[in-house]
Chain A
Amino acid sequence: MGQSVNYLGLIPLFPLLGSVLIGLIHVFAGKKFRISEKFYGILACVGPVLSFILALKTFVALKALAPESRFLCHKAFTWFSVGELHIDMGFLADPLSCLMLLFVTFIGSLIHIYSIGYMGGDKNYGKFFSYMNLFLGAMLVLVLGDSPVVMFVGWEGVGLCSYLLISFYSEDRSNVLAGNKAFIVNRIGDLGFVLGMAFLFWGIGASGFDFLSLKAHSGNLTPAIALTVCLLLFVGATGKSAQIPLYVWLPDAMAGPTPVSALIHAATMVTAGVYMVARFSFIYANVELAGNIIAWVGILTALLAAIFGMFQDDIKKVLAYSTVSQLGYMFAGVGVAAYSAGIFHVFTHAFFKALLFLGAGSVIYALHHQQNIWKMGGLKSKMPKTYFTMVIGALALSGCPPFSGFFSKDEILYSALATGHYGIWMVGVLVAGMTAYYTFRMIFVVFHGTPRDQHAFDHAKESPAVMTVPLIILAVGALFAGFLNLPAIFGGSQMVTHWLAPSLTEHHPHASLFIEIIAIGASVAAFVIGIKIAYTKFGQGAPAPEFKGFAEFAYHKFYVDELYHAIIVQPYKAIGSIIWKTLEPNVTDSPVKAASKLYMAIGTAFKVFQVGYVRIYAIYMIVGLSLMSLFLSQSLN
């Protein structure tokens, strides 16, 4: 066991307390007194910022320890103890969770600050920040949980908050449906997680169910159970992290306010699946089949989402599909057992994706909630700060050296190549080119060329500082975060990989200069080709395209939503209505009804004794007492 420190428990507690406090103020005082938005905003930022400070403190404390003993833990209380299952409300900080902790709290805080500006004037200002704090708190529980069960608490918490926040503008029915969809799809994944935990407990849970004990006993798992656990947990990950076949909720999640999208896509929620697989690396590393399945699911998701991303006309949907695509890369990374590469991509992705979303939010804010990119254009001159920061984000997303996305994506592709997964590598390079294409398609259409909607263009202006300052900070992160894990070929020392090493069970493939050069060359070539095509098509301003043939098919997302609706939702509804209208009234209800009829009959039979006259009741009493006395005297003799 590692050293015990008390402040670990406080890290998730601050945002959770903030959430409760803001919620109570909003419910009880918000209606009666006019509470200023500034008050809510400051109150909302306190929790995340305090958590970030404590995360830094945790980092410093961990750094002071020897690499192999970098564990800090805190047991708040015993949650429950049933038979062999003992669950503590415990928190564990090791290099892996500490890295997650740092960027989740950092980016979460920035998004909170940005939201003060973005949400200005909303009538449910207090409610929004209460949910946001709850969201962050749940994510921190997920990251810090020292056992799968505590992790699951946070896992469910972020699912709940995503539902609450996606359907935040609840006047519009389609937003509510998007929230429902996110919640239901996530529930399907959660079932996998629960079953995975059950199998894991069945396998090796008897000797302790926290991560450290599980890691120590992971060798006792039989291969069959290990494979089952891996695949079931991955089902959970596909739900939360939007992979095939459960990715459908994430693009619809754009219905929520833009800071929420940023929070979901960058800091919380979708990274949970990757984190979970890395957290269980001690099992996944031993089950190669599961790793291959994960890698292929990941890379195919990346490909599919990239295809969809190329044909979207909503600025947030483009970004949403890019997130699904990048998550696919991360799973490809953890699938080929390059856990540190996957987590590093999570880390860099958090910066540039938060940046892109907040930038898109800034554009949307300036254009009065216009999200269609074919109504934008030429905004470069009007919003220089947003433009420059978003270009940095776009370069990082498309993997342009030396931006952060390049290093992390390259690390994943290199690992795939070095471990002999050539198919995955080739698809990955293809997707890298497509990413560059659709990202810069968006940038060119929105910021370059001539304005398509003159009226909106005339009224557009740069967002206030409370929104642009977080953008600039994130841009710096997107620019330089990659250097933290500079590979040896560029004279770096892979700091992040070494930092994560004690937490992960990872075998580094033998580094070959030749392979590394091929990987980098292919990525850069793909990036250049992608951006070139985007520039020739959209660089000088282009009209809104007509989608025909394959493009139309892709524009409608291959009709996957419709397919799911036809093969899953409709049959379920049919089964439901059969149960409701036929099975329930006729079969299951009849014993219940029979029981109630029986009691009615008995009641009617005994009703005759209840005559209502006090004299008759006196007779009953006398007869009863006489019989009792008789019985007593009999038994005494």
Chain B
Amino acid sequence: MIHNYLFLSIILFCLGIVGVISRRNVFTVFMSIELMLNAANLAFIAFSRVHQNMDGHVLAMMVMAVAAAEAALALAVVILLHKHKSKLDTNVFSLLKG
């Protein structure tokens, strides 16, 4: 049974990675990161069920809390980025180019 959950988790995680790498809109990238976090949460919950203890739940709760904090911060950053260049294309922000 656990395999199914883990496969789903992996699929979600990979979707997230592909989203981060391939999409150029800041919001899409952000949502893809959230997807990866939730994939990890799913794996935690599944393992928690298998091992019959609450450790995974605790971690999943923690990840959610961190994700919420991160969302608040990231949205503020996005607003500033938009103010700066009036665009939300990640390719526009390439000051670190060597």
Contact = CB atoms under 8 A, between A and B. Distances in A.
Interface of A: 606-615, 618-619, 622
A610 B93 contact: no
Contacts of A618: 17, 20-21
Nearest to B90: A614
Contacts of A606: 98
A615 B96 contact: no
Contacts of B94: 611-613
A608 B20 CA distance: 21
Contacts of A622: 17, 21
B24 A612 contact: no
A606 B98 CA distance: 9
Interface in B41-94: 90-91, 93-94
Contacts of A619: 21
B36 to A, nearest CB: 10
A612 B20 contact: no
A610 B24 contact: no
Interface of B: 17, 20-22, 24, 29, 90-91, 93-98
A548 B18 CA distance: 103
Please provide the 6 A-B residue pairs with the shortest distance between their CB atoms, ordered closest to farther.
A612-B97, A610-B98, A612-B94, A607-B98, A612-B96, A618-B20
A174 to B, nearest CB: 57
A615 B93 CA distance: 11
B82 to A, nearest CB: 15
B96 A610 contact: yes
Contact of A615 (B20, B95, B97, B98): B20
26 contacts: A607-B98, A608-B98, A609-B98, A610-B97, A610-B98, A611-B94, A611-B97, A612-B94, A612-B95, A612-B96, A612-B98, A613-B90, A613-B91, A614-B90, A614-B93, A615-B20, A615-B22, A615-B24, A615-B29, A615-B90, A618-B17, A618-B20, A618-B21, A619-B21, A622-B17, A622-B21
A609 B97 CA distance: 9
Contacts of B98: 606-612
A31 B58 CA distance: 68
Given A613-B90, A618-B20, 16 more contacts: A608-B98, A609-B98, A610-B97, A610-B98, A611-B98, A612-B94, A612-B97, A612-B98, A614-B29, A614-B93, A615-B20, A615-B22, A615-B29, A615-B90, A622-B17, A622-B21
A614 B96 CA distance: 9
A608 B96 CA distance: 12
A615 B24 CA distance: 8
Nearest to A618: B20
Contacts of B24: 615
Among A608, A610, A614, max chain B CB count under 10 A is at: A614
A612 B94 CA distance: 4
A608 B97 CA distance: 9
Nearest to B94: A612
A613 B89 CA distance: 10
B9 to A, nearest CB: 15
Contacts of A613: 90-91, 94
